[in-house]
Structure 1
């Protein structure tokens, strides 16, 4: 028995399915798909990183051709994607992990769609000075089509053999844009009041739950990932109480786990602490403690970010059921195994470009770490040099 035994207890989702331990491979875009299709590099990367976790989540997969955020992103927009996704699901499950496909639409941030010549849209026609392309305001027909696209993407995930899906309702994607008062200036049924701004995420949730129910697979997992608040200086897209209210509605409809996207750059508290220890501003509650009330019963919560040691992971599950690990599993694919074998002192949490290549990171991921001139640099959060925002 070791001090880290708690990390290897199973996690039970709301539908009764169990994950073999408390670790989640965090959803991270590896920028290495080829025109949306799964590549051999991605298969090898996922095989090693998912080998010892309880649940593994892909980087976001776009549900239609107008939702592609970056070149190299996965596609679940077409039936032709299923074969490659099936290979991905197979390698993710090889070590006992539950394989989850994350579904997303980039909305106004669909630069990958622009590069392919597709139309890009958002909740409202606004000025986007940081973009060098035009963005249309979505019509009612566009919105209804997006809902159908999430449903179709769920069918493809089931056909590909995934154990579940995770709805990406965070990090400024289309669903968050609809919920944001900064991005959504509509005055129809899809915008205006807080309740109307949450209408699209809830409509998508209903649509995918209907697909899951019709599939007859009671073990299929529905995860939900959120950003707790959206602030741009003094401008508030939504605050913590707004997202709490949305999550209560989501809980009423039913999810199997909640994945809370936390990071140190967000103004969640008045002090700088590891993000798994962040308190909801104005309270003495951690985010899992705060959201437990919204979930109205048992629903496991995953938190993480900046988890680079065994002690970091253990601290994260003080309040939450699970801990997601991103950059550390990029640097050290054996992170979980070393903790299981009580070898935490052997964990690698500094690296170089050459070492990243040596541990099977896809080219797209490695490019994220290279300086603009292509030179090698040492990357280590512990030394005060944060890695790119991967989790």
Structure 2
């Protein structure tokens, strides 16, 4: 008797039902203009929307101009951004019913950077960049200038920017929001003792280092409304001595759950240039499993998971509730189709693609039947 696939079972994220446990991870494309999506975004996300995944999360989107990682990153901080992103969402919705999430972010001291293919280094204001903000005047890399240490007024502006972006995301019609508290960006910078050397109420003890991220979360949750799930991406560890670690992540996860978080997306790294990461398939799954053991809300794992059988085993073993892929989808935009065929699951494709499978292929489209003419 064939055991039904767990990867292809439905799951709830707050009020949102996902048809399966496969998530398209947010992937920065670095080609926006003034924060607005361009033709590339329409093609890129349109292709991923037809993947059969349970959730598609749009790339890290800056809540303010200075919060963008690069000048080419998406933003949601003015009416023009909102109108362009609305057109992008509308175009995706015309071709697919896939639930859409938006990752809201502020890059902090990692802002004003060049694209990865241009080296990723800091762009000086004289070259078209801007002065990044951070919790403390501690540079991301030794050869870079220190960021502006945020004042209480700067902190309030950041909180307000997240709230306003959440209201815009709700107005656009996104199905969920993911707050970016990972990968060395602003909210992660406040959590890690390597980047946060403040002595006021936003620095020092774990409780104080968690204060701003939790304030942002509660403010975004209120702005999003009760029927729009808000989740969080966390870096489980800085992979550097004296930095943020899994024990602190578990404590933060418990606080977020108590505050109303709908899901937790567990990644790692990105904060310190001294990080040493043992990269390999599923290298972050154990972190997700530790968080899952401490909370009752759904937990997402991510990190070089490309084999459908591996993804299935992660869910079946209870290490995580959802498996997110990024590079895997860039290589194979129909990855869930392959997973469904291998695992005995089903996906719902656009009607125009119903006839694409070869004769005798596993019935991954369920009981759909089409005629010939």
Q: TM-score range by the shorter chain?
A: 0.7 to 0.9
Number of equivalences: 326
Residue 222 of structure 1: aligned partner = 230
Residue 98 of structure 2: aligned partner = 97
> TM-score, normalization: structure 1?
0.77
Residues 42-61 of structure 1: matches in 2 within 5 Å?
42-51=41-50, 52-61=52-61
2:263 corresponds, among 251, 257, 267, to 257
Q: Distance in 1 between matches of 2:168 and 2:143?
A: 32
Q: Which range moves more in the overlay, 30-39 or 251-260?
A: 30-39
Would you say 1:24 and 2:36 are equivalent positions? no
Q: Spell out, residue by residue over 1:299-346, the C-alpha distance to the aligned partner (whole angstroms, 9 max, x if none).
A: 1111121122221321232321111011111011111123224499xx
> TM-score, normalization: structure 2?
0.80
Change (3 A) 1:161 1:116: farther
Residue 40 of structure 2: aligned partner = 41
Residue 351 of structure 1: aligned partner = none
Q: Distance in 1 between matches of 2:282 and 2:156?
A: 36
Tell me by how many angstroms 1:240 deviates. 1.2
Residue 378 of structure 1: aligned partner = none
State the superposition RMSD in angstroms. Answer: 2.6
Q: Distance in 1 between matches of 2:279 and 2:24?
A: 25
Change (3 A) 1:18 1:310: same
Residue 142 of structure 1: aligned partner = 154
Q: Spell out, residue by residue over 1:29-50, the C-alpha distance to the aligned partner (whole angstroms, 9 max, x if none).
A: 0112122111111111111112
Tell me by how many angstroms 1:108 deviates. 0.7
Would you say 1:170 and 2:182 are equivalent positions? yes
Residue 329 of structure 1: aligned partner = 329
Q: Distance in 1 between matches of 2:64 and 2:89?
A: 20
Tell me by how many angstroms 1:127 deviates. 4.5
- In structure 1, stretches of 5+ residues that fail to align are 280-286, 345-391
2:281 corresponds, among 243, 267, 274, to 274
SS at match of 2:197: coil
* Kept in 2: contact 1:170–1:227 (CA 8 A): yes
Q: Spell out, residue by residue over 1:142-180, the C-alpha distance to the aligned partner (whole angstroms, 9 max, x if none).
A: 001100000001011111111121000000000111011
2:248 corresponds, among 218, 242, 252, to 242
Tell me by how many angstroms 1:117 deviates. 4.1
Q: Distance in 2 between matches of 1:28 and 1:2?
A: 35
Q: Distance in 1 between matches of 2:337 and 2:202?
A: 46
SS at match of 2:77: coil
Change (3 A) 1:79 1:116: farther
Q: Distance in 2 between matches of 1:88 and 1:276?
A: 33
* Kept in 2: contact 1:46–1:91 (CA 8 A): no
Residue 340 of structure 1: aligned partner = 340
Residue 5 of structure 1: aligned partner = 5
Q: Distance in 2 between matches of 1:240 and 1:326?
A: 23
- In structure 2, stretches of 5+ residues that fail to align are 114-122, 345-373
Residue 316 of structure 1: aligned partner = 314
* Kept in 2: contact 1:62–1:75 (CA 8 A): yes
Q: Distance in 1 between matches of 2:28 and 2:341?
A: 29
Residue 156 of structure 1: aligned partner = 168
2:200 corresponds, among 180, 188, 191, to 188
Tell me by how many angstroms 1:128 deviates. 4.6
* Kept in 1: contact 2:302–2:325 (CA 8 A): yes
Q: Spell out, residue by residue over 1:199-221, the C-alpha distance to the aligned partner (whole angstroms, 9 max, x if none).
A: 010000111111123xxxx4312
Would you say 1:306 and 2:304 are equivalent positions? yes
SS at match of 1:306: coil
Residue 352 of structure 2: aligned partner = none
